[in-house]
Structure 1
């Protein structure tokens, strides 16, 4: 059986070389999307691995992800940022997951946290649907390049760190798009990496008005029909975390405002082109 080629798609900024690959303990092919102040392409061989770098003046995490997908060459692609550190056996774990689940188009893994409490994961392998996909972080996502490319799936560039509109939610929109196009998403309980959350977040500044506004837009982009239910469940589930600064009604009100502005174009000038019914 032919070996599956695993390629790590790294999103970073202002990188002068390929040292981030070693820093992340990546021991496979990698494509680095380097958002900086110039345009350039380069490629080197290191330890029998092909490392490529595309430097671009574009900004935004989702734009970086899409550029990586457009230029990826691996059979299996791994979403990667500059604060990830992979296990020694990560390549083998990824390849085994796809060998064991040939029908899987996307496999999400568990991860350890540095700088915050450990996140809980499912104990066993399972297939994920829409609700479970909401629990997934971008650091967990791997996918078959062929499946994503064939179905024209991309990250929504209105969402994600660095976007001019909404600062998060891009991974959930990506996974929902996969599910809408009948791709199979599997969870593997293997711990693939450690994520460093000790630094300042590029998008989360606490439970403020902008946070709730963006959540309302995200839930509406995920599902116009059920956005109200997603807003209510979020307000209930996270109440303990925001109750010192917002009432339940205020949180719902801000999310509803984000929902309505997303649907109507609103003050941000966003559109409803990708909002499912």
Structure 2
């Protein structure tokens, strides 16, 4: 039996068909945002003939952070692996993951290669190395595999303010890794590839470089950078100005981010994080 449990965040999916669609080859917890509330388990036989336990939690609530936290609460295997509904895993990925953790006892968490659709790539690992404050922000949640006991003992959870279905746009992955580093979790990257993203689907949060994009980015930067949020915001709009500041001036974009920083401070004072 695999030592891994896949934690899948899904939206309005057929949870009986999803394990085959994703080529899941381990036990899994699927949290499916839909219009009902029920919990049940299915036995699923993967293509190798192994019987896997699939725990399905259908919930009438919205927010990817809520789904990932609920899946994390239900994880009970040695290793947990975050996943999205549109990832397809390679045959034998469980053995690759287990072998990599056995070879690196110093790692509490490993970031594996999962190939994104063209134009959506944020990272590609070519070596084994430590993930630090300098480079943690590029990794998506579906790259993460962690030792369950370490993560639960640290008490780190996903923000429910950010990501698809939440109040503010993307950033929950970066915030999660930020808090993992802050708690002392030892994160490494590896060049081992375990799967790929299927055909691109419409974004659940991105609707262009509009007011909301920059405002929400400012809220995120408050939680990521604290007192350095304004300086990092200015750096962001200057570096990205050719791509993101075509319809607004750099100053307008910066002011929107500073407005978002003030909102982030308010959210923190009210305990909404």
TM-score (normalizing by structure 2): 0.91
State how far apart, in whole Å, the 2-side matches of 1:29 and 1:120 are. 27
From 125, 128, 131, give the equivalent of 1:125: 128
Q: Which 5+ residue runs of structure 1 have no aligned equivalent?
A: none
CA RMSD of aligned residues (A): 1.9
Secondary structure, aligned partner of 1:190: strand
Q: Is the 8 A contact 2:123 2:139 kept in 1?
A: no
State how far apart, in whole Å, the 1-side matches of 2:203 and 2:215 are. 18
Deviations 1:213-244 (A, max 9, x none): 11111111112122123212321332221132
Deviations 1:35-89 (A, max 9, x none): 2222211112222211110111121110000100011112111111111111113
Q: Is the 8 A contact 1:29 1:50 kept in 2?
A: yes
State how far apart, in whole Å, the 1-side matches of 2:150 and 2:53 are. 22
TM-score (normalizing by structure 1): 0.90
User: Does the C-alpha gap of structure 1 residues 71 and 228 become closer, same or farther in structure 2, counting only changes over 3 Å?
Assistant: same
From 72, 75, 93, give the equivalent of 2:78: 75
Q: Is the 8 A contact 1:239 1:248 kept in 2?
A: yes
State how far apart, in whole Å, the 2-side matches of 1:147 and 1:87 are. 26
What does residue 8 of structure 1 align with? Answer: 6
Q: Is the 8 A contact 2:2 2:27 kept in 1?
A: no
User: Does the C-alpha gap of structure 1 residues 35 and 120 become closer, same or farther in structure 2, counting only changes over 3 Å?
Assistant: closer
Q: Is the 8 A contact 2:237 2:245 kept in 1?
A: no
What does residue 145 of structure 1 align with? Answer: 148
Q: Is the 8 A contact 1:219 1:231 kept in 2?
A: yes
User: Does the C-alpha gap of structure 1 residues 209 and 197 become closer, same or farther in structure 2, counting only changes over 3 Å?
Assistant: farther
Q: Which 5+ residue runs of structure 2 have no aligned equivalent?
A: 46-50
Deviation at 1:113, TM superposition (A): 2.3
User: Does the C-alpha gap of structure 1 residues 143 and 238 become closer, same or farther in structure 2, counting only changes over 3 Å?
Assistant: same
State how far apart, in whole Å, the 2-side matches of 1:207 and 1:259 are. 17
State how far apart, in whole Å, the 2-side matches of 1:226 and 1:88 are. 44
Aligned pairs (5 A) from 1:35-54? 35-47=33-45, 48-54=51-57
State how far apart, in whole Å, the 2-side matches of 1:70 and 1:139 are. 17
Deviations 1:90-144 (A, max 9, x none): 1122112211211211111122222536544242111111221111112211211
User: Does the C-alpha gap of structure 1 residues 274 and 153 become closer, same or farther in structure 2, counting only changes over 3 Å?
Assistant: farther
From 207, 212, 215, give the equivalent of 2:214: 212
State how far apart, in whole Å, the 1-side matches of 2:59 and 2:66 are. 10
What does residue 32 of structure 1 align with? Answer: 30
Give the length in aligned residue pairs.
Answer: 268
Deviation at 1:183, TM superposition (A): 0.6
State how far apart, in whole Å, the 2-side matches of 1:234 and 1:196 are. 30
